[in-house]
Amino acid sequence: MNSDKRREIKSFVKRKGRMSKLQINALRNLSGIFSIPFQEKLISFHKIFQNKNNTFLEIGFGMGQATVEIAEKNPDKNYIGIEVHTPGVGKLLSEIELRELKNIRVIEYDAVEVIHHMIPDNSLQGVHIFFPDPWPKKKHHKRRLIKDSFIRLLIPKIKDEGYLYIATDWEPYAEWIVETLGRFNELANKYDLYAEHIPWRPVTAFEKKGKNKNHLIRDIWFDKKKTGL
């Protein structure tokens, strides 16, 4: 994909959002330890985490609740979280320090650019996208993160037999996601249609909002097929 096309339409509009003192301090004091600055260069998970554990990517972690809970329960796995919402980045950094987690790193930048420039091929064991912005109006559908160009970019980064796990509370987006992923021969839906709720996925802030509006929660799980290469 050429870079002009990638830059055309963003899947987010940067929200201002007030920052708490805790978040400001975390950004000031902890970014140097737990953040990876955006760069147009591949990163090495081995170097960053000083281990050969499997690495998982979370895109759009919001305030990072799911990120910390999952990482805390899996100290033998590495997690990279990407988010553009600065208060959320501050919150996640403060939680990493509070819980003394060694297995999370944070990148504050557009995930599309990060994946293109920084993530090596065949490097991710799993990708989590929990409650991506649904962009419900038809005229905004082009902003949806899950679309052919993005999945085409993402697939080579996932290891054979790795997975892509998405959750949404917006039924038309759930249908769109299953249809989009279904167009890729490299991926296989692990379930007939939707996954059962996976017990280790914590309830996030956006999930709560959806449930308060009586929205159904849809979990979608696709495996990357073995290519044998």
Ligand X SMILES: C[S@@+](CC[C@H](N)C(=O)[O-])C[C@H]1O[C@@H](n2cnc3c(N)ncnc32)[C@H](O)[C@@H]1O
Q: Which residues of this protein are in contact with ligand X, per CB under 6 A?
A: 11-12, 59-62, 82-85, 88, 110-112, 130-133, 145, 204-207
- In our burial notation (b when 16+ CB lie closer than 10 A, e otherwise), range 131-159 reads bbbbbeeeeeeebbbbbeebbebbbebbb
Closer residue to ligand X, CB minimum distance, 147 or 188: 147
Output 188 or 215, the one with its CB closest to ligand X: 215
Q: Which is nearer to ligand X, 51 or 135 (CB)?
A: 135
Active-site annotation holds for 121 = no
Q: Which is nearer to ligand X, 142 or 226 (CB)?
A: 142
- The 3-state DSSP class for residue 9 equals coil
CB 200 within 8 A of CB 142: no
Could you tell me the smallest distance in angstroms from the CB atom of residue 229 to ligand X?
A: 29
Nearest alpha carbon to residue 26 among 64, 56, 59, 55: 64
Which parts of 11-104 fold into alpha helices (H)? 21-34, 45-49, 65-73, 86-98
Which of these, 226, 207, 222, lies nearest to 61 by C-alpha position?
Answer: 207
3-class DSSP assignment, residue 31: helix
- What minimum distance in Å lies between the beta carbon of 92 and ligand X? 11
Q: Indicate which residue of 133, 192, 219, 223 is catalytic.
A: 133
Catalytic residue ranges: 133
